[in-house]
């Protein structure tokens, strides 16, 4: 399926991006790459569901790589996972094949992929003498991620629009609000570990992001309340 003239413009960055709901790393970095991939995949007739499957495979590969201590490969797979998380939605918009079910599976793969990656990190670094610390910290981190992602999805299902985190939460969008920036920070900390064999930076990164996530969630609840009051008045 060759690209049409209109497609040639439509696939270019940032036409396929979502400036309000995309995380900052996703919008400014990953989308620039994913738009190129999406244009090619569209030209060969790849379906959005196929892209979602490829995205899930990269998440599993990242988890396996970390578990077997192939840290550089794991970081590479994390970034490919993030990029292909954009590709499936972009393909759906390019091909006009957007669907409720496709959107559901896209979201589930994103959430499951992050869970797989974080769980593999837990198993990799959950060793004495800090085994208990790692266990509690990763449990708190996963809980905080659940709250922040669930609040976004519930906002979308309730108000029928994406939660504009990039616009109204610019500070947290650089720290923890989106999976793109969370996985970026984790990737950088893991690269540091691969170079220095010191896990202290990774421990602190997860600790600080966990605290930021709980603060972000608390403030988001207030923002959503104010939003609801504004549309009800």
Lowest average pLDDT, out of 70-79, 106-115, 127-136, 220-229, goes to 127-136
Q: Hey, what domains does the chain have and what are their CATH numbers?
A: 5-232 (1.20.120.1760)
Would you say 113 and 81 are in contact if contact means Cβ atoms under 8 Å apart? yes
Kindly report, residue by residue over 104-140, the tens digit of the pLDDT.
888 899 999 999 999 898 888 776 566 778 888 888 9
Kindly report, residue by residue over 5-57, the tens digit of the pLDDT.
344 555 666 677 777 778 889 888 999 999 999 999 998 999 999 999 999 99
Residue 62 φ/ψ, nearest 5 degrees: -65, -45
87 closest CA partner among 132, 40, 122: 40
Q: Is this structure's pTM higher than 0.75?
A: yes
């Amino acid at each position: 399926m060759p690209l049409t003239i209109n497609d040639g413009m439509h696939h270019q960055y940032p036409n396929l991006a979502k400036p309000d709901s995309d995380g900052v790393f996703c919008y400014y970095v990953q989308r620039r790459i994913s738009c190129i991939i999406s244009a090619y995949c569209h030209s060969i007739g790849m379906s959005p569901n196929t892209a979602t499957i490829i995205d899930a495979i990269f998440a599993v590969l990242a988890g396996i790589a970390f578990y077997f201590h192939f840290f550089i490969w794991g970081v590479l797979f994390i970034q490919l996972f993030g990029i292909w998380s954009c590709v499936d939605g972009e393909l759906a918009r390019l091909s006009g094949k957007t669907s409720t079910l496709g959107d559901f599976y896209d979201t589930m793969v994103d959430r499951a992929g992050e869970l797989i990656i974080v769980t593999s990190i837990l198993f990799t670094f959950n060793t004495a003498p800090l085994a208990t610390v790692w266990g509690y910290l990763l449990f708190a981190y996963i809980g905080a991620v659940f709250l922040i992602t669930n609040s976004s999805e519930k906002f979308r299902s309730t108000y029928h629009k994406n939660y504009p985190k990039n616009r109204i939460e610019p500070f947290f969008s650089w720290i923890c609000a989106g999976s793109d920036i969370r996985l970026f920070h984790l990737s950088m900390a893991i690269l540091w570990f691969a170079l220095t064999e010191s896990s202290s930076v990774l421990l602190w990164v997860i600790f600080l992001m966990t605290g930021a996530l709980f603060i972000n969630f608390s403030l988001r609840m207030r923002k959503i309340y104010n939003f609801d009051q504004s549309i009800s008045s």
